[in-house]
Amino acid sequence: MFENLLADGYLDQIGKLGPIQFGGGLLGSLLLGLFLYVIATKLRAENAWLAFIPVVNVFYMTYVAKRPWWWPVLALVPCINLVWVFFLFPMTLASLAEERGKSGLLGCLLWIPVVNWFVLGYLALSD
């Protein structure tokens, strides 16, 4: 099977996408960190620089949203992580929006791809 892929040059094409995917992931991570940093500074939360550290920023988002620290830990437990993904994480996002003085439903829009970047930008840059 792989011989056919090599012969047709598909793996070469996939390898060329690596830098693009890496750059997109890096840009997305920096943008998320920047938006969360701005939200944290507007809410006068301590140690806003934690927003730029991957994985730690999920715990920091929970802290800024004034939710229990152990909620993101549930994401690491098999099967129970579904509770976090479908219930606790949306509640955290809604609380983050409410802390900024916006509707909690706006935080639930963070689930929609592409829209989530505009919502995060709105939460970070609005008054």
Q: Which two tokens stand for residue 19?
A: 């830098």
Region label for 101, one of left (φ > 0), alpha (ψ between -120 and 50) or beta (otherwise): left
Q: Distance between alpha carbon 76 and the CA centroid of its chain, in Å?
A: 16
Prediction pTM value: 0.80
121 lies in which domain range?
2-125
Q: Which two tokens stand for residue 37?
A: 């940093």
Averages of pLDDT over runs of 10 residues in the chain (127 residues) are: 57 72 89 94 94 92 92 89 86 90 85 87 89
Region label for 71, one of left (φ > 0), alpha (ψ between -120 and 50) or beta (otherwise): alpha
State how many domains the chain has.
1
pLDDT value at residue 106: 86
pLDDT value at residue 67: 93
* Spatial distance between the Cα atoms of 26 and 23, rounded to a whole number of angstroms: 5
* Spatial distance between the Cα atoms of 57 and 75, rounded to a whole number of angstroms: 14
